[in-house]
Chain A
Amino acid sequence: MKYFRVLAMAVAFCLAIFLSNTFICHAYEDTQCFKCHTSAKKLIEITREIAKTRPALKSAETAGEG
């Protein structure tokens, strides 16, 4: 009986750790930021959309070594 109680406590402890980690990972991975920024396909679509509207950022007149 004593051993059973210790074993049950150990299992409960491991389960708690496992579930808490799982919960953290899910909370992290479920954000829109993560979903989009880990998808190359979505990023390609969005960056192409941005490129159509964004003007050049660098001057073509830059010349020489910095």
Chain B
Amino acid sequence: MEPLAPHEKIFVDSDIVDDENHGEIACHECHGGNPDDPNWKTAHKGVVKDPTYPDATAACGDCHDEINENYQKSLHVSLRPYKLIIDKRASSNTVIRNKIGCAMNTHCSECHASCGQCHISRPNSVEGGFLDGHLFQKKPPMQEVCTACHGSRIQKEYLGEHEGLLPSIHKKKYMKCDKCHTGEEMHGNGKEYADRYDVENGPKCVDCHKEIYKREAKNVITHRIHKEKASCHVCHSQPYNNCSACHVGKDKQGLAFFKTKSSWVDFKIGLNPLKSEKRPEKFVTLRHVPADKRTFDFYVKDALSNFDTLPTWKLATPHNIRLKTTQNASCNACHGNESLFLLEKDVEDNEKGANKNVIVPVNLIPKKQKWQPK
């Protein structure tokens, strides 16, 4: 996303005084600084750019008390799953763990949301700047906020930006992110989740598609047969983005950087690594994430000595849903079609151990069907 010009980032729309909820709050009440000083250099002493992070209590808590109470446990703010995943893969050596913590503070901690970075400005990770002259946005705009961060995967999938692939059917129906991902989900409910798929009020396809298992529904037989066998995405996703080997470091000037080895569009069905009552399906779509044993080599060698404890092919819910896809064109478009499944030969040798629980043994690939539903 093209960053805003420096002056655009901080230009305040004078219409803010007409905001019945926020218009009477003076700038310095949230941001600090000296509102009477005509010298901008001294006036900005002590100014806080984002007074809503890490603690939004002073800026937002008086009025939005319930949201503020849960805010810091929201995954968009806490980034807890990332930390837990690195923790699981990391060496148990305390010195090494401290160095990983240092690297994460430099490279990973910047990628978080805050009240301000969703409702007032673009996220810091895309260089910030007011969304609309500091006017408060009840619903964050999709392309300037949500896909500003979730760009390489969600944006490209949802908008159909991968060559030869179509946008999600939900995009064609003019649905924005907040149609499925509600404010309640974004703000958190006070519980600390270990994985985004555990979030209780996260979206489920059946929230809208309530009728698919009912007798009178179209394709009811197909849906009932596959109900606990395959996730919705297995049949209704198009190929999606995968990437590999993220390495972090600092350049000669001491500026932090990251590099990924490659990214590619692919579609792979694997065994469900997060099988639970909520997600009982045997087969799910898997995405290769840029996890790598040597991610932190710049800071410390052998940092992720327990790398194999978690798969690098992770459960994915690609955002490029279509009613008709290549793999659901007929039963045998999928059944017996080895190329759709994550087989041992598809996994790099140094990642075979990490992915042993998600690789599909050839004998588990559904056999070709002689019978076809009408």
Contact = CB atoms under 8 A, between A and B. Distances in A.
A7 B251 CA distance: 75
Given A59-B257, A62-B257, A33 B33 contact: yes
A59 B256 contact: yes
A65 B13 CA distance: 34
Nearest to B23: A28
A47 B259 contact: no
Interface residues of B, number: 44
B255 A58 contact: yes
Interface in B144-189: 151-152
Given A62-B258, A66-B152, A32 B36 contact: yes
| Residue of A27, A56, A66 ringed by the most chain B CB atoms within 10 A | A66
Contact of B35 (A31, A38, A44, A65): A31
Interface in A10-48: 24-25, 27-29, 31-34, 36-38, 40, 43-44, 46-48
Interface stretch (B4-12, B69-77, B231-239, B331-339): B4-12
A59 B38 contact: no
B199 interface: no
A43 B10 contact: yes
Nearest to B254: A59
Contacts of A50: 6
A5 to B, nearest CB: 32
Interface in B248-276: 249-251, 253, 255-263
Nearest to B248: A62
B277 interface: no
The interface size bin for chain A is: 20 to 34
For the complex, would chain A's binding face be called helix, strand, loop or mixed by DSSP majority? helix
A43 B7 contact: yes
B36 A64 contact: no
A37 B260 contact: no
B27 interface: yes
Nearest to B133: A38
Contact of B7 (A40, A63, A66): A40
Contact of A40 (B11, B151, B260): B11
B292 to A, nearest CB: 12
A51 interface: yes
A63 B247 CA distance: 10
Interface of B: 5-7, 10-14, 17, 23-24, 26-28, 31, 33-38, 40, 43, 111, 134, 151-152, 241, 243, 246, 249-251, 253, 255-263, 290
Given A38-B13, A46-B40, 12 more contacts: A28-B23, A28-B24, A31-B28, A33-B28, A40-B11, A56-B255, A59-B250, A62-B257, A63-B260, A64-B258, A66-B152, A66-B258
16 contacts: A25-B17, A28-B23, A31-B36, A32-B38, A37-B10, A43-B6, A43-B10, A47-B10, A56-B255, A61-B249, A61-B251, A62-B257, A62-B258, A65-B241, A65-B263, A66-B260
* Smallest CB-CB A-B distances: 5 pairs: A64-B260, A47-B6, A59-B255, A65-B152, A59-B257
Interface of A: 24-25, 27-29, 31-34, 36-38, 40, 43-44, 46-48, 50-51, 55-66
